[in-house]
Structure 1
């Protein structure tokens, strides 16, 4: 197994550049797979290139604006989901480099299989039945609870518009709470025999943790998908319209263009880093379900996968 600290390729880059070790910051969005990827990147950059890496939480708009500034406040986004934040990517394309597609994901709305069987639902349109909607109303306010994502997620905004497109806006209250809290409710609701509907995406550990059904939707149609985000127009909700399924998501790494001069030795890693959806699902399962420490998991995974690591290092 090759040594983890200062591989031959990394040492050559450092010696050849005569530059000091890089000091970078990785912006970390709130979802589990982004946290896992950030930990992997941090350990690789530090062990293989002697970099000093800080992990800083942030939302997509904050991370992209910081990367574009080139000041080093944030330099890397470990997991950019498209088309979710296409507008942000387009806005900063001159100063932020978007890497190749690492893996694909799927997005939609889920219920547990127990809920699907109990209520006889399989499609998002089944939720438009007022009698079905009543089953999701646990607080007695006359509307069912529907978790659309965490506050600040572009996907949560899209889900709100999609609810209206499917005729669900008057029947359900869109909830935006932390992802961990929302997914904890799945188990709570299941124990009580109560239904729960929520935004879901793959790869994600939740599909290994629970038996879930992603509700059927009309196939994605660009003509029926007009999504405007709040940072693009204050009247985004009124002007948006969405009434079909998400198209397959493409997930990328992004980094500040300033790194090409500030930390050129790391560019090969950022360009080659390409975890598979199975890798990401396993990372998140280990962290979120098994309770593994992100940093310890990253170190162990890197040590156990030298061939994959070599490819990411361009060896």
Structure 2
């Protein structure tokens, strides 16, 4: 599937026709299976996923693909767009969290490979000082009038939870939890911009005020608010998930979670895989790209480290692309192996 556009943007770091080894010598294999093919990536609205999007786009460009600027989309429009072929891929699929979108995309798109397999945790946290003083260990504790009053800054009788904006997969699970655990009259999910809401929560924490929030890993939140030192993961009494994730209710208990109030820790959320979601026609027509998606990955700790740099102020488009370039340079040998496998798939 070759598409031509009037405005094509090659991401920084792409090689035009020659690849260099770390020592600077020319590689004999100059095969560019993506030459002449325009690729339209998408990326999620959560900025913690923009770094992996940059890395994958730049490596695709090294195969000769003309990679356009990514389109930033919420989950529902992305999964519809990738199924229809309006975009070719993103690397921000969270599964099983995004199982709710399978019916939307599976007729025209597919999961290929893993950005990060397992270990992407989610759950609810409370600042440690408040949790220790008031013995807060579970979502169930927010039914206590004295507990929820601690987190009720606007005096409306509800504890404020920094939650997920509309369109995010976690929004649906949080809504399910609030209803299933009987918290509708006790907890108010804040659905504004996540970064802005968490920045406000961080400010309250620094002033010694209680905070209650949802987060996921990798994320800058658990870098600035260290579990076990600044905040604690709280638990659920028994896991309950939406219908599309019911089969994973036995997978919400995780051992060795740093900073959880219990071990093993029932977070109420299964650990997720972060996966590329790719238009099937694009994958069929571009075996080199499909193979690259199969073999590439980025360690969670590397995503976490880059997210921390973003929160420290390195958050412009130029910064994110530079971070991607630096990661590729630091892992040049591994990246070259992936590129070789991708080229072989196209022969």
Cα deviation, 1:147-192, whole Å, max 9, x if unaligned, reads 2212211211210220222222101211101111121022211133
Q: Say yes or no: does 1:289 pair with 2:302.
A: no
Structure 2 residue aligned with 1:144: 159
1:137 CA drift (Å)? 0.6
Q: Say yes or no: does 1:45 pair with 2:71.
A: no
Q: Is the 8 A contact 2:177 2:241 kept in 1?
A: no
Matches within 5 A, 1:127-206: 127-206=142-221
Cα deviation, 1:73-97, whole Å, max 9, x if unaligned, reads 3111212111212131243223112
2-side partners of 1:10 and 1:108: how far apart? 47
Q: Is the 8 A contact 1:128 1:171 kept in 2?
A: yes
TM-score (norm 1): 0.84
From 203, 206, 226, the equivalent of 2:242 is 226
More deviation, 116-125/152-161: 116-125
1:258 CA drift (Å)? 1.6
Q: Is the 8 A contact 1:99 1:270 kept in 2?
A: yes
**Equivalent position SS for 2:113:** strand
Measured at CA, do residues 100 and 44 of structure 1 come closer, stay the same or move farther in structure 2, by a change above 3 Å? closer
**Equivalent position SS for 2:30:** helix
Structure 2 residue aligned with 1:239: none
Q: Is the 8 A contact 1:49 1:265 kept in 2?
A: no
Cα deviation, 1:170-224, whole Å, max 9, x if unaligned, reads 012111011111210222111332212111111212111113211122354xxx4
2-side partners of 1:262 and 1:98: how far apart? 16
From 283, 299, 309, the equivalent of 2:325 is 299
TM-score (norm 2): 0.76
Cα deviation, 1:54-91, whole Å, max 9, x if unaligned, reads 21100112111111112xx3111212111212131243
2-side partners of 1:108 and 1:298: how far apart? 28
Q: Is the 8 A contact 1:145 1:173 kept in 2?
A: yes
Q: Which runs of 5+ in 1 are unaligned?
A: 230-242
Count of aligned positions: 291
Structure 2 residue aligned with 1:234: none
Cα deviation, 1:104-132, whole Å, max 9, x if unaligned, reads 21111112223322433122222221110
2-side partners of 1:203 and 1:112: how far apart? 19
2-side partners of 1:67 and 1:226: how far apart? 24
Q: Is the 8 A contact 2:41 2:67 kept in 1?
A: no
1:314 CA drift (Å)? 4.4
| Deviating 4+ runs (over 6 angstroms) | none
From 68, 79, 85, the equivalent of 1:64 is 79
**Equivalent position SS for 1:108:** strand
1-side partners of 2:28 and 2:112: how far apart? 21
1:244 CA drift (Å)? 7.8
